[in-house]
């Protein structure tokens, strides 16, 4: 399989990106491929490397409004190779689908938007990125290599850089695989927040036959987790489902059968709606831990990390525009959803209104991840129509 795009065809570009095994934090040349194509379309590209992570910001034009497409070239590991029917980085086409890690999450989405820009230029008489036709403003790309990882050196750092540079983005489309069962049946207009916490309970090791000489941390931890889990966080929030707390691991590392362990730890995650903030939930963790420490005599340490706050892009002209274009090109009344996990939209929302719209996500992160060729073509058509409609509605005067 060729490693270079051919004629900005969406399928060839998707294949070219998949053949770059860019498992976070490795780039493997994926960002070079994106940069090469964008420069051929007249974009000025700025590479931003933070730590090990390759990022890219590209812009074509200087006028407002600036419509940005955001995405990521990094992918999750392929998993057990023998379970794949074909090479996870081979990008082979079988039964009308491109197969490979990142096909839908989200190299196919990046390829579709780039191909849409090229198609839009062709339809409007633009040559090599000149601003003819209906582009009455600017187009930009924010591409990171750190969405699937800890995300500390990716979009969040690029957003800080954009603010420092005084760069204005007016609206943003994130090309995550937002569609549920059919292309265009769902867009994401918001996301729940996410907070992780690790509770470590330290007691006193001892022989199981003499519990009075020890302090077993496990019952303390179990009761503490029970108290956390018993709380009904909320009954939902406008356009959001209820918040949920999940216990993700409990560990002691004890390999003996006759020892009360010295310590025990557990991790939890809460996906929360705008009824809460990450700081409020972290304060609750500390309060519960302090109560149990005072009651039991055990030492309890809490380490919390806020991955992102809940947000909602309010209904209005931008969201309506996307829904109208989906209706016109795909014939669907799209669901304006806030479900699912987190995405880099949580960082971009500090700059501008942001909506996620991309491929069907049913195979993302799975063995044999794949994307239908027909969906790639249809998404490219829809993105092209969206660019046209955006500048018709929001664009500056010629």
- Report d(CA 396, CA 398) in Å as an integer: 6
Res. 63: pLDDT tops 80: yes
Average pLDDT over residues 348-354: 96
Res. 83: pLDDT tops 60: yes
342 — pLDDT class (breaks 50, 70, 90): confident
pLDDT in tens, 231-276: 999 999 999 999 999 999 999 999 999 999 999 999 999 999 999 9
Rounded to 10 degrees, the C-alpha dihedral 106/111/113/117 comes to: 170
Residue 277 main-chain phi, psi, to 5 deg? -120, 160
340 — pLDDT class (breaks 50, 70, 90): confident
Number of helices and strands (H, E) in the chain? 9, 19
Single pTM value for the model: 0.89
**Residues 343-354: b if buried by 16+ CB within 10 A, e if exposed:** bbbbbbbebbbb
Q: What is the pLDDT of residue 126?
A: 60
Encoding tokens for residue 23? 């498992």
Examine residue 25 and say whether the peptide bond preceding it is cis (omega within 30 degrees of 0). Answer: yes
Res. 4: pLDDT tops 60: no
Mean pLDDT of the chain: 94
Encode 200-264 in three state secondary structure.
Answer: EEECECEECCCHHHCECHHHHHHHHHHHHHHCCCCCCECCECCCEEEEEEEECCCCCCCEECCEE
Q: What is the pLDDT of residue 135?
A: 67
6 — pLDDT class (breaks 50, 70, 90): very low
Q: What is the pLDDT of residue 398?
A: 42
Q: What is the pLDDT of residue 128?
A: 47
Q: What is the pLDDT of residue 134?
A: 52
Encoding tokens for residue 170? 């007016």
Domains, the chain, with CATH or none: 10-191+310-394 (3.40.630.10), 193-308 (3.30.70.360)
Q: What is the pLDDT of residue 133?
A: 41
Kindly give the interhelix angle for 108-123 and 373-394, rounded to the nearest 10 degrees.
Answer: 50
Average pLDDT over residues 390-396: 91
Average pLDDT over residues 281-305: 98
Res. 297: pLDDT tops 60: yes
Q: Where are the alpha helices (DSSP H) in the chain?
A: 10-18, 30-40, 108-123, 155-165, 217-230, 278-296, 317-330, 345-348, 373-394
Host H or E run for residue 304: strand 299-308
Res. 190: pLDDT tops 70: yes
329 — pLDDT class (breaks 50, 70, 90): very high
Going by DSSP bridges, is the β-strand pair 299-308/193-202 parallel, antiparallel, or unpaired?
Answer: antiparallel
pLDDT in tens, 106-151: 999 999 999 999 999 988 876 444 444 456 899 999 999 999 998 9
Q: What is the pLDDT of residue 8?
A: 82
Res. 383: pLDDT tops 70: yes
Catalytic machinery residues: 74, 147
Which residues are annotated binding-site positions? 72, 105, 148, 176, 365
Q: What is the pLDDT of residue 150?
A: 87
Examine residue 292 and say whether the peptide bond preceding it is cis (omega within 30 degrees of 0). Answer: no
7 — pLDDT class (breaks 50, 70, 90): low
């Amino acid at each position: 399989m060729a490693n270079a795009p051919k004629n900005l065809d969406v399928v060839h570009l998707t294949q070219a990106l998949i053949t770059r095994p860019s498992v976070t934090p490795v780039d493997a040349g994926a960002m070079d491929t994106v940069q090469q194509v964008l420069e051929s379309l007249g974009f000025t590209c700025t590479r931003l490397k933070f730590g090990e992570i390759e990022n890219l910001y590209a812009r074509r034009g200087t006028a407002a409004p600036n419509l940005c497409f955001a995405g990521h070239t990094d992918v999750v590991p392929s998993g057990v190779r023998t379970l794949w029917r074909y090479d996870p980085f081979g990008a082979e086409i079988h039964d009308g689908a491109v197969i490979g890690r990142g096909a839908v999450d989200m190299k196919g989405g990046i390829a579709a938007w780039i191909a849409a820009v090229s198609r839009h230029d062709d339809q409007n008489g633009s040559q090599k990125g000149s601003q003819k036709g209906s582009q009455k403003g600017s187009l930009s790309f924010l591409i990171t290599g750190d969405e699937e990882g800890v995300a500390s050196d990716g979009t969040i750092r690029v957003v800080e850089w954009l603010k420092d540079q005084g760069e204005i983005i007016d609206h943003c489309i994130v090309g995550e695989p937002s569609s549920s069962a059919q292309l265009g049946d769902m867009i994401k207009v918001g996301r729940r927040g996410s907070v992780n916490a690790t509770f470590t309970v330290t007691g006193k090791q001892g022989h199981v036959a003499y519990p009075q000489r020890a302090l077993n941390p496990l019952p303390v931890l179990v009761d503490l987790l029970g108290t956390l889990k018993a709380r009904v966080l909320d009954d939902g929030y406008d356009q959001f489902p209820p918040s949920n707390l999940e216990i993700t691991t409990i560990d002691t590392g004890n390999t003996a059968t006759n020892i009360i362990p010295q310590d025990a730890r557990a991790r939890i995650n809460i996906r929360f709606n705008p009824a809460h903030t990450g700081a409020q939930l972290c304060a609750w963790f500390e309060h519960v831990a302090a109560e149990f420490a005072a009651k039991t005599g055990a030492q309890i340490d809490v380490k919390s990390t806020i991955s992102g706050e809940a947000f909602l892009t309010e209904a209005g002209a931008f969201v309506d525009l996307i829904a109208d274009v989906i209706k016109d090109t795909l014939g669907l009344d799209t669901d304006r959803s806030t479900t699912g996990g987190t995405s880099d939209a949580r960082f971009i929302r500090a700059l501008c209104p942001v909506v996620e719209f991309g491929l069907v996500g049913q195979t993302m992160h799975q063995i044999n991840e794949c994307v239908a060729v027909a969906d790639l073509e249809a998404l490219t058509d829809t993105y092209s129509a969206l660019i046209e409609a955006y500048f018709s509605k929001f664009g500056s005067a010629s």
